[in-house]
Amino acid sequence: MFHQIREWWRERAIQQLKRDAREIIRRDSAAYTDRHLTTIANVLRTYLAEFESPPQTASHRRQVVMRLKSRHQEARRGHDQAVLSAATLAIIYRRAVEAGETGAPARDEVQAFLDRYVDNEGVTAE
């Protein structure tokens, strides 16, 4: 019984990730210009590069998670919408990757946003 509840809860969390990613991208696409969306995508790219960089140890992943949470909180306090959206999408992407194959729809939503708006010469989070 507990196994079924845990699986139901995990599936529900994955569905929420997908909805959140879709809603953030939809809302930002409707509210901002392509230039602002490119800035969000470039900041997101730097956050994801940090997450995917070696070494992939548990302590490294925990440090990256803590930095993302910290950046998210600072962006909320500072009303920096570009960094806030990028940090939120990075957190969603990270959780989707950790969920494995069931997280693929949320991961694909974020990746499609990156593919559409990232500027290869772009702006970084620094």
The radius of gyration of the chain's CA atoms, rounded to the nearest angstrom, is 15
Q: Which two tokens stand for residue 3?
A: 């196994």
SS3 57: coil
Q: Region 66-91: what's the mean pLDDT?
A: 91
Q: Residues in the chain, how many?
A: 126
Measured CA distances, 19 to 27, 39, 49 (Å): 12, 22, 23
Over the stretch 16-72, which tens digit does the pLDDT of each residue have? 989 999 999 999 999 999 899 999 999 999 988 887 777 777 787 788 888 889 999
Query: Residue 106: its pLDDT value, please?
Result: 92
Which amino acid is present at 35?
R
Q: Which residues contact 96 (CB under 8 A, 6 or more apart)?
A: 14, 17, 21, 103, 104, 105, 106, 107, 110
Summary mean pLDDT of the chain: 86
Q: Is the pLDDT of residue 121 over 70?
A: no
Query: Residue 126: its pLDDT value, please?
Result: 46
- The domain ranges of the chain are 2-117
Binning the chain into helix, strand and coil, the percentages to the nearest 5 are 85, 0, 15
